[in-house]
Amino acid sequence: MHQSTIIVIFAGLFPLLATSAKFPAQFPTKLERYWWRKGFWRQPSKTTNPLEAGMDLVKMPFKICRSVNYKGESIPGKFLDGANICYIGFNGSEIRLSNPNEYQLLDTDKTSHFEWIPSRNGDIANGAVIGGISKNFEVYFICTAAHLEKGKTVILIGKLQPSEGACFVAFHGKEFFYESYNVLRDSRYAVKFQD
């Protein structure tokens, strides 16, 4: 293998802080029985059809966002229209990102075939969409979880962290985790990983 090929492969492992390409990512890891898929992440002003998911207390839908680089991490979360803020969970707290340069939205196009798959205990689904990456290079996926607040259920968007076995969501200043959740996938990439 040529040195330039090695550099290209190595550089390809860390594209998450930039706008993602339209090809699936297939990195064997602890989760090697799955194929992963990158998303179409764009700055808010450049999105054409951001993906909606979840809802707040008054049934307003959220959009899927992620931090570009919050303390060395790219973390998926929820974006509320009108407020123009991306909310992410970090170390037990809800973090508000209000500068459009601090976050991106998950965009869709005619090639997207997104769907939500029930899962639990850190499992992902074939074709799961990459949502971000930790400072230790663990890949985060996109999840939703039902959260009870003041007797009402809200569906929150967050990060699925396989090593922790849970979906982490943020609401009203705090971060919560759920072992049962839905994971976002693109059905076109729902192919079993073959040895």
Distance CA 101, CA 56 (A): 24
Question: Alpha-carbon distance 147 to 153, whole Å?
Answer: 6
Assigned domain for 120 exists = yes
The DSSP code sequence of the chain is --HHHHHHHHHHT--TTS---SS-----STTTTS-EE--EEE-GGG-SSBPEEEE-TT-PEEEEEEES-BTTBB-EEEEETTTTEEEEEETTEEEEE-SGGGEEEEE--TT--EEEEEEETT---TTEEEEEE-TT-PEEEEEEEEEEETTEEEEEEEEEEGGGTEEEEEETTEEEEESEEEEEEEGGG------
pLDDT at 110 (0 to 100): 72
In tens, the pLDDT along 120-156 reads: 999 888 888 899 999 999 999 999 999 998 888 899 9
Look up the pTM and report it. Answer: 0.78
Lowest mean pLDDT among 4-8, 93-97, 101-105, 153-157: 4-8
Q: Which domain holds residue 143?
A: 3-189
Tell me what pLDDT residue 172 has. 93
pLDDT above 80 for 87? yes
* 22-76 per-position pLDDT tens digit: 333 433 334 444 555 667 888 888 888 888 887 777 778 889 999 999 999 999 9
In a domain, 194, yes or no: no
Residue 38 has what pLDDT?
67
Give the CB-side neighbour count of residue 13, counting CA atoms within 13 A.
13
Would residue 135 count as lying in a domain? yes
Tell how far CA 143 is from the center of its chain: 7
> Bigger pLDDT: 111 or 36?
111
State the Cα–Cα distance between residues 89 and 75, nearest whole angstrom: 8
Is residue 35 included in any domain, yes or no? yes
Phi, psi of 53 (to 5 degrees): -165, 150
- Tell me the one-letter amino acid at 127: G
Task: Flag whether 195 is in a domain.
Answer: no
Structural domains counted in the chain: 1
Q: Does residue 53 sit within a domain?
A: yes
Question: So what's the pLDDT on residue 35?
Answer: 55
Is beta strand 36-37 parallel, antiparallel or unpaired with respect to 128-133? parallel
pLDDT band at 18 (very low <50, low <70, confident <90, very high): very low
What pLDDT does 117 receive?
A: 93
b vs e for 22-31, b when ≥16 Cβ sit within 10 Å of the residue's Cβ? eebbeeeeeb
| Averaged pLDDT for residues 65-94 | 94
Q: Tell me whether residue 151 is in a domain.
A: yes
Whether residue 164 is predicted with pLDDT greater than 90 in this model: the reply is yes
CA 85/CA 79 separation, integer angstroms:
6
Model pLDDT for residues 169-185, shown as the tens digit of each residue: 999 999 999 999 999 99
Question: Quick check: is 168 in a domain?
Answer: yes
Report which of 181, 103, 171 is spatially closest to residue 141, judged by C-alpha positions: 181
